[in-house]
A = this chain, B = another copy of it.
Amino acid sequence: MLPGDAPDLSCRFMNVYVKRAFPVANVRRFLEPGPIVLVSSHHRGQSNIMTMGWHMILGFEPSLVGCYVWTENYSFDLIRKSRECVINLPTVDMARTVVDIGNCSGREIDKFAKFKLTPSFGNVVGAPSIRECYASFECRLADSRLIRKYSMFVLEVIRARVATAPRYPRTIHYRGDGVFMISGANTVRFRSRFRPEML
């Protein structure tokens, strides 16, 4: 078992993580355990951030992620029209901010300014990433045909950047009704049991 950080739910001054390039085919390492993410988008001078809990990996090559974005979200049109966004991975120190971002609408406020988050432009996509997040996965809309029926955007991750430390982020996972599960220990104890092609 790998050591985790000591539990710390205080909302301290937020980190700006130092990130490195990461293979897009391996983003499951961070998304498959089911964390809450922050999706940032940009269209015609408007940027926004939304809190998102409903997503799933759909493939490695291409690196596909299915994401549920409610039609009422201000981000819905920004992503649909720009056909781009960034999936940012917040850690537990940002839990309060994650909740607050979900409580308000980008129609009324600039969420980057309001929550003192640092947008990082200069990505492959036009949307800014969030420097205070552990990882950023730049995405293009790969398939818009499931939006009408299921509010599902099929996104292709075209560039990934991940913090150099810690090895595993302490992510937050939503249970509904205001309850969060915080990611626990990480273990390679069972790795040797896997048939190699099943990893």
Q: Which residues of B contact A33 (CB under 8 A)?
A: 34, 173-175, 181
A188 located at the interface, meaning its Cβ lies under 8 Å from any Cβ of chain B in the complex: yes
Please measure, in the bound complex, the distance between the C-alpha atom of A2 and the C-alpha atom of B37, giving whole angstroms: 23
Tell me whether A181 and B184 are in contact (CB under 8 A): yes
Q: Which residues of B contact A19 (CB under 8 A)?
A: none
Q: Which residues of B contact A150 (CB under 8 A)?
A: 58, 66, 154
Tell me whether B103 and A176 are in contact (CB under 8 A): no
A120 located at the interface, meaning its Cβ lies under 8 Å from any Cβ of chain B in the complex: no
Instruction: State how many copies of this chain the complex holds.
Output: 2
Tell me whether A184 and B184 are in contact (CB under 8 A): yes
The verdict on A178 contacting B188 (CB below 8 Å), with A33-B34, A54-B58 known, is yes
The minimal Cβ–Cβ distance linking A158 to chain B, given in whole angstroms, is: 19
Picked from B32, B53, B182, the residue with its CB within 8 Å of the CB of A53 is B32
Interface residues of chain A, those whose CB is within 8 Å of chain B, are 1, 4, 7, 9, 26, 28-30, 32-35, 53-58, 66, 68, 95-96, 99-100, 102-103, 146, 150, 152, 154, 168, 170, 173-195, 198-199
